[in-house]
Amino acid sequence: MQQQKRMVQPDYSQSDLDTASHCQLFKNVSTHELRVLLTCFQINEIICKEKQLIFQAGAPQSSLGIVMDGEVLVQKDDVTGERLILGTFSRSDVFGEVSAFSGVERWLNNVVALTDCRIWMIPADRISSPCADSCFAHQTLIRNMLTIVSQRAVNMNNRIHYLQMKRIRRKLAAFLYDAYVQKGNTTFMVPFNREAMADYLNVSRPSLSRELGRMKKEGMIDFYRQAFTIRDLQALRKIKSK
């Protein structure tokens, strides 16, 4: 994958302001405060095509990203070409915050465009250094960033738990049950297609599809593409706890 991207200055359209307002980084920040913060941040906008490499592991990093349109994938690739998916991010999602504030100053993993996408890049030091023009909003911003980083740590802990499980059914049960807990609803969307989900759980795609089919036939779950419904929560809980 060749790195190709176009960098422009954002126009801060109303549509983009609406997208930014749904970003967890700007939770409880008013529209007026958001406009002031965006001016302070000196944001760059990156425009990428599907499957393009946006950032390569080891490249210098001073900013974190917010997806304005499309989807991006963060993955770790080894020398044999095997990939380990760390997460997918869609509109209003933040990515790259852990490495941005780690002091390493380099991207730890590859970031790839799953679809055509637009990304706002915010310099990390603009978030960590309070601005005199929006002091209260900046305090809110820092609290939000701590929440984002903490949630990322919880997600990574869950991921390690899945990878330690030997049986595909148990991995799927734990993954779907955790999604239910996170969403607070037995019907939810997962951020992966089948190939990405298989990579995320470290199983083969055919084996994953077969097991999903069995669980659906047994009345535990129902699904269509990335939409899932848990039909038997007790059965799922029992499998994941074995």
pLDDT digits (tens, 9 = 90+) for 174-187: 999 999 998 999 99
Rounded distance between C-alpha atoms, residue 188 and residue 169, angstroms: 19
Q: What is the mean pLDDT of residues 4-28?
A: 87
Tell me the pLDDT band of 133, cut-offs 50, 70 and 90: low
Angle (deg, nearest 10), helices 168-183 and 194-201: 110
Rounded distance between C-alpha atoms, residue 1 and residue 52, angstroms: 6
Pick the more confident residue, 135 or 52.
Answer: 52
Least-confidence region, from 13-17, 90-94, 120-124, 125-129: 125-129
Rounded distance between C-alpha atoms, residue 194 and residue 239, angstroms: 21
pLDDT of residue 135 exceeding 70: no
Q: What is the pLDDT of residue 10?
A: 82
Question: How do residues 176-233 score in pLDDT, each as one tens digit?
Answer: 999 999 899 999 999 888 988 998 999 999 999 999 999 999 999 999 999 999 999 9
pLDDT of residue 131 exceeding 70: no
Going 47 to 49 to 51 to 53, the CA torsion angle's sign is: negative
What's the pTM?
0.82
Using a pLDDT cut of 70, give the percent of the chain over it: 96
- Containing H/E element for 87? strand 83-89
Tell me the pLDDT band of 155, cut-offs 50, 70 and 90: confident
Closest by CA position to 179, among listed 188, 169, 167: 188
For the chain, the distance separating the N- and C-terminal CA atoms, rounded to the nearest angstrom, is 41
Question: How do residues 22-79 score in pLDDT, each as one tens digit?
Answer: 999 999 999 888 988 888 888 999 999 999 999 999 999 999 999 999 999 999 887 7
Beta strand spans in 114-170 (E) = 117-123
Q: What value does the mean pLDDT of the chain take? A: 90
Give me the sheet containing 227-230, strands edge to edge: 187-189, 227-230, 221-224
Classify 119 in phi/psi space as left (phi over 0), alpha (psi -120 to 50) or beta.
beta
